[in-house]
Chains A and B, each alone.
Chain A
């Protein structure tokens, strides 16, 4: 079962910041939040991840609330090429195999408008 809840769709004007929210109220203390995006007919692309501190890289910023029950992905200056489905993922505890697993939800379809 998905551990995250995201709005199904959002629009953003080109050049403006896109703020994509995610709720993960059942997250455990050592479970990371990952963000990926998927452009039509391609595989998911890694964006950023975090545990409890805010994170920033060349693609985006990740803001995680102090209680860790929600987070926001920020694309500072959205372009038309950022139009995609954005997935907020909780990486669950290691299974018996020792691997970390991604549990995907249905994501947010972001449309950047010219």
Chain B
């Protein structure tokens, strides 16, 4: 399967601990996105990379959150000093190119974070 993969699929951590998630996009996709989804809600945009450059961050992304895509391939999302409100599904998506008429994003299975 050459789709978007995420690791781990589930993470349980205690409040105050740091966690890091990894996303491997579809290999030829140069654009990568992180979303957060809480129970009963649709995904909310967090941040976006074009190749290795982080070009946009949502106001949802507090100072405790940092994302990287060092070589323009995989990406990591780190949450420092986790809080119970960080409990959510973290989704990664990737897309190819800049065509205005075809810009679908392909999503990974997500990492479900539970902060106790």
Contact = CB atoms under 8 A, between A and B. Distances in A.
Chain B: interface size category: 20 to 34
B55 A98 contact: yes
B25 interface: no
A44 to B, nearest CB: 5
A99 B104 contact: no
Q: Main secondary structure on chain A at its contact with chain B?
A: loop
A2 interface: yes
B28 interface: no
A98 B50 CA distance: 10
A48 to B, nearest CB: 9
Contacts of B4: 43
B21 to A, nearest CB: 13
Which of A30, A43, A51, A105 is packed against the most chain B CB atoms within 10 Å? A43
Interface string B41-74: 1111100101000011000000000000000000
Contacts of A45: 107
Interface of A: 2, 30, 32, 34, 36, 41-46, 49, 51, 87, 91, 95-107
12 contacts: A2-B42, A42-B109, A43-B91, A43-B93, A43-B110, A44-B43, A44-B107, A46-B105, A46-B106, A98-B50, A102-B105, A105-B42
